Chain A
Amino acid sequence: GQNIDQPTEMTATEGAIVQINCTYQTSGFNGLFWYQQHAGEAPTFLSYNVLDGLEEKGRFSSFLSRSKGYSYLLLKELQMKDSASYLCAPSNSGYSTLTFGKGTMLLVSP
């Protein structure tokens, strides 16, 4: 089975930087996804890390340490529209299904 741990809620102000952490324990690890989900909408893909290190994509970056079972999503220059739930999802080998964490609800205030 898999065990995925991420904070339930975080708050930040516009223009700030926030880091959302995710720790996981899984067998046959392939890589780790981050998804964004706005209230009432479907999750959308943000990033996928296979190798250790930082992947930067505009205001969003994602980091992975395979040996530590640890990832984080870094959001810079926060905007109100970044208020959403952020889902950490390690993928495993075999059938390569995704198991999602319960999500971190980020609230960005003015």
Chain B
Amino acid sequence: DVKVTQSSRYLVKRTGEKVFLECVQDMDHENMFWYRQDPGLGLRLIYFSYDVKMKEKGDIPEGYSVSREKKERFSLILESASTNQTSMYLCASSMEAQKLFFGSGTQLSVL
């Protein structure tokens, strides 16, 4: 089975902190994605990557950056966390045909 692992299930941070959300997949997938999910807004794509050291902006990249130094790992970085970044963050990976395998999510609260 494909496994996508997110480092934290729950995270509480303060406004202005730098936050790292880590995601690792074990199926040698080329593609990795970061989404956030908010009530009433659904899943929205933040950033994605189709190869090591490659990144593309999604629909809502403002306030975020990403890093993909190794194929299996895709990190989401909040340079200076703000309260409007409180959300559920979901990492996903895929090989082809966009069938996504999701991690279990990180519920981030920014106080």
Contacts and interface: CB of A to CB of B under 8 A. Distances in A.
A99 B98 contact: no
Interface residues of B, number: 23
B46 to A, nearest CB: 11
A48 B105 contact: no
Contacts of B45: 97-99
B104 A30 contact: no
Contacts of B98: 30-31, 33, 91, 96-98
A95 B48 contact: yes
A102 B104 contact: no
B102 A100 contact: no
A33 B102 CA distance: 14
B99 A45 contact: yes
* Residue of B33, B35, B45, B97 ringed by the most chain A CB atoms within 10 A: B97
Contact of B41 (A95, A96, A102): A102
B48 A97 contact: yes
Interface residues of A, number: 21
B59 A99 contact: yes
A101 B44 CA distance: 9
Contacts of A96: 98
A30 B58 CA distance: 18
A43 B43 contact: yes
Interface of A: 30-31, 33, 35, 41-45, 48, 87, 91, 95-103
Interface of B: 33, 35, 40-45, 48, 50, 56, 58-59, 90, 97-105
15 contacts: A30-B98, A31-B97, A33-B100, A41-B104, A42-B103, A43-B90, A48-B97, A87-B42, A91-B98, A95-B50, A97-B48, A99-B45, A100-B35, A100-B43, A100-B44
3 closest A-B pairs by CB: A42-B102, A102-B42, A100-B43
